[in-house]
Chain A
Amino acid sequence: MTVLFPKWTNKLPAWLALGAAATGLFVVLAVNYWFSPRHTDVGYQPFQPIEYSHKLHVDLLGMDCRYCHRNVETGPHATVPDADTCWGCHAQVKKDSKLLAELVAKYGNGKADNPSIEWTKVHLLPDFTYFDHSVHVRANVGCTSCHGRVDQMEIVRQVEPLSMGWCLDCHRDPAPHVRPPGVPATRMDWVPTAESIAAAQRRLEWQGDTPPELNPPTHCSACHR
């Protein structure tokens, strides 16, 4: 009888089956890792229209986040500042700074028609998600929980994945991110303690007939409305 196939092909079906199983597993894990915001989005650090240093303003000068991001307590958007916000101080302070000259050149000195600065959005949520800053600040979730130590950044960088699973992680177990009433959400160097977690945990539970003070939703329409 003529031999159609060499002998090594006897083992081929087994290898193909093994290879297919391994490929399947690899594809699942690869998509899970490399296609997720944990890999694609974390570390995003675009250049901004002007060289503005958060480290200088927040860390060294001690400014509060809310001076520029002024709607964070009342609206869904924290808002990014326009040039007029800069003139609030720079009309008096450091008027001759070389870095400020760039701002003047691009956006005028407080008398421009359009003082908007075309900031490049760093923390970009998809259009099909609903997110409201104010409700998070009211629950006293710290800025750093989502944005990291912005006070240590020269140029703002995304440090958290902002993926759905990441949101859910906190909505299911928010205690480490909820600060006690005395600690402002904007404080940068705060870290949770055993007491703060226990205190937050109490606010998440029923106290007798009193419903929990905090109740982060985990149903679909919390964010997909």
Chain B
Amino acid sequence: MTAIPVVDEPENPLRRPALVEGKNDFASVTDVVAGVAERRTPKGWYLLFGISIALLLNLLAMIGYLVWNGIGVWGNNVPVGWAWPIVNFVFWIGIGHAGTLISAILFLFRQKWRTSINRAAEAMTIFAVMAAGIFPAIHVGRIWVIYWVFPLPNQMQLWPNFKSPLLWDVFAVSTYFVISSLFWFVGMVPDLATFRDRAMKAGRTLAARLYGVFALGWHGSNRHWVHYEKAYLILAALSTPLVLSVHSIVSFDFAVSLLPGWHTTIFPPYFVAGAIFSGFGMVLTLMIPARRWFGLQELITLNHLDNVAKILLLTGTMVGYAYAMEFFIAWYSGVEYEQFAFLNRAFGPYAWAYWIMVTCNVISPQFFWFRKLRRNPAVLFVLSIFVNIGMWFERFVITVTSLHRDFLPSSWGMFSPTLIDVLTYVGSFGLFFTFFLLFCRFLPILAISEIKAVMPQADPHHDHPRTSPGHAGRAHAHH
């Protein structure tokens, strides 16, 4: 915010609703967010955490079983050599994209409403990327030589194939994880310092020390803020291309092959739109219960949910356009294999999966044309679950229906998952929710310092209060 001068805006004729509701001031915002971590652990948290840990242990057991026995324990087999593991990988990595969009792109576009949801969304990104990364790693079969994916000198003179999108994937996903983690951590430093100071005041020395290690000696000096905001801006700029590039590269895993149904140029933008769609779906799934259980309704307001729903409407419709365009191109190209692949998708043996996908991804977001529904948390929550289901089925449809019937009818076959497939997938939710619940319990789940900067109180022009919120960022930098 210091690096880019804020130009004085004229008074906005369409006054935007306040981002923080109720009678909140700086102190109460800190109290509300820090209170989540400071008050006694709710019983419900233990319940959810217990379930998550159980699922996580199940995941570890499944991975152990897989490594011991080999990939044959899954349903993957010729002709469907890529099945649930890749479906799950793309599902999880896609979810991450909403966090990066919120934290980076919305930051660069000065979308101030992002401040209430960016922290949790970034956490979601990181945990989703962790859940995603497991699947290709265990799918290689011999996980003990997984380091072969990296270009390291070795006695075999074995070198990764730089022409392979699978290798690009390794770099895209690992870059994504590193940058997202750094961005999340750097943004959290001032709030960790707040937690540290509050723990110190309350006499909880151990907690103060632990928070203190990660607060990196922050004491909110002007110099700290100048450096912090520069670092934040740089990381936002680094993350922005990743929102588009990571899922483009994931789509190359499919698009660079020659299989009908995969080999299409629409894949990168189509995958990116789908990723953002699925990620915002997951944001709603997580934030609607969180705001209620932790009493954050005044900070994550209905306006925030409304905005997320609008993005769901937009990206869901884009995804629907891509589905339609795939059919159009299949017909327009005149390639009979391509035409067959899409007819087979919609009317073949996996038609049920295709229509689940269309219903959840294209039809369900259309409800968000209505303001009343966009502002109803219960409706939003239910529809967000539909989005999650739909986006998983999208990846299933792309992967399985394209593979199971290719050019040669003699090599056609059907895929069905095994119990191990199902338990591994369910277990990945255990990993995700274990980390997310730990995050909710011990870390600042909202960006305290950033929320303060978008409150009316951050505007120092006392003579004409509640003017354009554009002043807030500048005022904040001067403090």
Chain A residues engaging chain B, CB cutoff 8 angstroms: 1-2, 4-5, 10, 13, 28, 31-32, 35-38, 161, 163-166, 168-169
Which residues of chain A are within 8 angstroms of B157 by Cβ–Cβ distance? Answer: 164-165, 168-169
CB atoms of B155 and A37 under 8 A apart: yes
> Which of the candidate stretches B39-47, B209-217, B264-272, B375-383 sits at the interface with the other chain?
B209-217
Q: Is the CB of A163 within 8 A of B156?
A: yes
CB pair B212 A32 closer than 8 Å: no
Tell me whether chain A's interface is mostly helix, strand or loop, or mixed: helix
20 contacts between A and B (CB under 8 A): A1-B219, A2-B200, A4-B196, A4-B200, A4-B208, A4-B209, A13-B216, A28-B152, A31-B154, A32-B152, A36-B155, A37-B155, A38-B155, A161-B155, A163-B156, A164-B156, A165-B154, A165-B155, A165-B156, A165-B157
Complexed CA–CA distance, A182 and B125 (Å): 69
By beta carbon, the residue of chain A nearest B205 is: A4
Q: Give every chain B residue within 8 A of A4 (Cβ-Cβ).
A: 196, 200, 208-209, 212
Which of B153, B208, B216 is within 8 Å of A32, CB to CB?
A: B153
- When distances are taken between beta carbons in the complex, the residues of chain A under 8 Å from B219 are 1
What are the residues of chain A within 8 A of B234 when measuring CB–CB?
Answer: none
CB contacts (< 8 Å) of A35 on chain B: these are 155
Residues facing A in B430-456 (CB within 8 A) are none
Q: A4-B208, A13-B216 are in contact. Are A28 and B153 (CB under 8 A)?
A: yes
Q: Given contacts A4-B200, A4-B208, A4-B212, is CB(A32)–CB(B217) below 8 Å?
A: no
Partner of B155, one of A1, A10, A164: A164
B343 contacts partner chain A, Cβ-Cβ < 8 Å: no
Per-position 1/0 for B201-236, Cβ under 8 A of A: 000000011001100110100000000000000000
Closest to B156 in A: A164
- Please indicate the chain B residues that have their CB under 8 angstroms from the CB of A32 in the complex: 152-155
Please give, as numbers and ranges, the residues of chain B lying within 8 Å of A37 by CB-CB distance.
155
Closest to B213 in A: A5
Q: Across the interface, name the chain B residue whose C-beta is closest to A40.
A: B155
B237 within 8 A of A: no
Least Cβ–Cβ distance between B150 and chain A, in angstroms: 9
Interface size on B, residues (CB 8 A): 16
Question: Within residues 380 to 432 of chain B, which ones have a CB less than 8 A from any CB in chain A?
Answer: none
Q: 1/0 per residue B174-214: CB within 8 Å of A?
A: 00000000000000000000001000100000001100110
Tell me if B158 counts as interface (CB < 8 A to partner A). yes
Shortest beta-carbon distance, B207 to chain A, in Å? 11
Q: How far is the CA of A13 from the CA of B215 in the complex (A)?
A: 12
Query: Is the pair A36, B208 in contact by a Cβ cutoff of 8 Å?
Result: no
Complex contacts, A36 vs chain B, CB 8 Å = 154-155
- Nearest first, the 9 closest Cβ-Cβ pairs linking A and B are A36-B155, A165-B157, A164-B156, A163-B155, A4-B212, A165-B155, A32-B153, A168-B157, A28-B152
Nearest chain B CB to A190's CB is how many angstroms away?
Answer: 27
The answer on a CB contact under 8 Å between B153 and A164 is: no
Which chain B residue has the least Cβ–Cβ distance from A161? B155
Q: How distant is the Cα of A1 from the Cα of B217 in the complex, in angstroms? A: 12
Q: Which residues of B contact A163 (CB under 8 A)?
A: 155-156
With contacts A165-B156, A168-B157 known, is A5 near B200, CB below 8 A? no
Chain B residues, Cβ within 8 Å of A165: 154-157
List, in ascending order, chain B residues with CB within 8 A of A5's CB: 209, 212-213, 217
> Are A164's CB and B158's CB within 8 A?
yes
- Give the Cβ gap from B221 to chain A, nearest Cβ, in Å: 13
Q: How far is the CA of A161 from the CA of B153 in the complex (A)?
A: 16
New contact pairs (8) apart from A13-B216, A163-B155, A168-B157, CB-CB < 8 Å: A2-B200, A10-B217, A28-B152, A28-B153, A31-B154, A32-B155, A36-B154, A163-B156
Whole-angstrom distance from the CB of A87 to the nearest CB of chain B?
42
What B residues does A38 contact at CB under 8 A?
A: 155
Contacting residues, chain B, for A2 (C-beta < 8 A): 200
Q: Which residues of A contact B212 (CB under 8 A)?
A: 4-5
Whole-angstrom CA separation of A212 from B212 in the bound complex:
70
Q: How far is the CA of A43 from the CA of B320 in the complex (A)?
A: 66
Within 8 Å CB of A13, what residues of B?
216
Q: Tell me which residues across on chain A come within 8 A of B208, comparing CB atoms.
A: 4
B86 CB to closest chain A CB, in angstroms? 23
Docked complex: B136-183 residues within 8 A CB-CB of A: 152-158
**Distance of A5 Cα from B217 Cα, bound (Å):** 9
A163, B219: Cα distance in complex, Å:
56
In the complex, which residues of chain B have a beta carbon less than 8 angstroms from the beta carbon of A28? Answer: 152-153
- Chain A residues contacting B213 (CB-CB under 8 Å) are 5
Question: Which chain B residue shows the least CB distance to A35?
Answer: B155
Q: For residue B153, which residues in chain A have a CB less than 8 angstroms away from its CB?
A: 28, 32
Contact residues in B for A161 (Cβ distance below 8 Å): 155
Q: Which residue of B lies closest to A10 (CB)?
A: B217
- Closest B residue, CB atoms, query A39: B155
Q: A29 CB to closest chain B CB, in angstroms? A: 8
Q: How far is the CA of A110 from the CA of B174 in the complex (A)?
A: 66
Measured CA separation A109–B241 after assembly (Å) = 80
Q: Which residues of A have CB within 8 Å of B158?
A: 164
Which of chain A's residues has its CB closest to B154's CB?
A32
Q: How far is the CA of A28 from the CA of B154 in the complex (A)?
A: 9
- Interchain CA distance A129-B152 in the complex, whole Å: 22
In the complex, A161→B152 CA distance in Å?
A: 19
* List of B residues within 8 angstroms of A31 by Cβ: 154
Q: How many angstroms from the CA of A13 to the CA of B216 in the assembled complex?
A: 8
* Cβ-closest chain B residue relative to A166: B155
- Which chain A residues lie closer than 8 Å to B200 at the CB level? 2, 4
Measured CB to CB, the nearest residue on chain B to A12 is B213
Task: Tell me the complex Cα distance, A164–B155, Å.
Answer: 7
Q: In the complex, what residue of chain B is closest to A33 when comparing beta carbons?
A: B155
